[in-house]
């Protein structure tokens, strides 16, 4: 067996999420079906993170085990051929050690969330951003976000169906910035941690949006965190503004 790491980009709209499902399309299922075209057998790949329905990726990482000693570039080209027309692309591939694991070898995951602030519907960014028709106070959102940094019990920002063993996580970065783009002003949330709870990033963003809109004071986010109560969370943002931006490993495979 030869283990190959894959860097994967995808548009999440057509999929029920990363994880393979029996009756719905998934990113994992699409890649495994493409692998079966190259080596006809059952394939099971592992990923750094299981994104939800509608969530996108620019830097998802997965690994597969191949019987043939594929040259990584040739494997990525062959997979991209068989993945058409699904909006999934293998943007890089690399040979890794047999004990390397896309999920368990990862040191941290990085997410990006995009909010587009404009009234006119976006023709080009529809499904790729959360579009709102009001302006946001970035400084107030950053002040509120700072309360979430560090080691905390994030029960408030955890989905009720989260399967993580503990709600305690360490948040290393939650940076908020406004960016001027061709289609209008956007607010970007850069989020970094070793691991995340289910819906944690979307819960952060939905809550911080309320601060930016003036509906919440920044200190209310601190109070919500300390409540360790899901009812204290603000609205959960929609999935289509969220991207798995990258994964860090001790020795970068790509």
Question: Which residues are tagged catalytic?
Answer: 52
Distance, in Å, from the CA atom of 29 to the CA atom of 238, rounded to the nearest integer, reads: 23
Distance, in Å, from the CA atom of 61 to the CA atom of 78, rounded to the nearest integer, reads: 18
Distance, in Å, from the CA atom of 149 to the CA atom of 247, rounded to the nearest integer, reads: 19
Partners of residue 131 on adjacent β-strands? 116
Please give the angle made by the CA atoms of 179, 180 and 186, to the nearest 5 degrees.
55
148 close to 221: Cβ distance less than 8 angstroms: yes
Q: Which two tokens stand for residue 117?
A: 């602030």
- Beta-carbon neighbour count of residue 64 at 10 Å? 25
């Amino acid at each position: 067996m030869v283990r190959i790491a894959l860097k994967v980009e995808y548009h999440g709209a057509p999929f029920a999420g990363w994880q393979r499902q029996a009756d719905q399309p998934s990113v994992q299922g699409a890649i495994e079906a493409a692998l079966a075209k190259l080596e006809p057998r059952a394939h099971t790949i592992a990923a750094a993170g299981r994104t939800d329905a509608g969530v996108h990726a620019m830097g998802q990482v997965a690994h597969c085990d191949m019987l043939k000693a594929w040259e990584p570039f040739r494997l990525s080209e062959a997979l991209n051929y068989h993945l058409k027309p699904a909006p999934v692309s293998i943007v890089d591939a690399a040979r890794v050690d047999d004990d390397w694991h896309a999920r368990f070898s990862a040191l941290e995951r990085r997410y990006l969330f995009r909010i587009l602030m404009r009234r006119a519907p976006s023709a080009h960014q529809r499904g790729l951003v959360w579009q709102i028709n009001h302006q946001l106070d970035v400084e107030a959102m950053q002040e509120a976000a700072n309360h979430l940094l560090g080691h905390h019990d994030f029960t408030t920002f955890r989905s009720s169906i989260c399967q993580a063993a503990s709600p305690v996580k360490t948040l290393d970065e939650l940076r908020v910035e406004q960016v001027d783009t061709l289609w209008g002003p956007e607010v970007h949330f850069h989020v970094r941690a070793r691991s995340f709870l289910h819906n944690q990033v979307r819960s952060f963003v939905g809550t911080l949006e309320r601060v930016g809109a003036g509906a919440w004071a920044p200190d209310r986010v601190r109070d919500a965190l300390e409540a360790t109560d899901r009812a204290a969370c603000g609205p959960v943002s929609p999935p289509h503004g969220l991207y798995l931006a990258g994964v860090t490993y001790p020795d970068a495979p790509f």
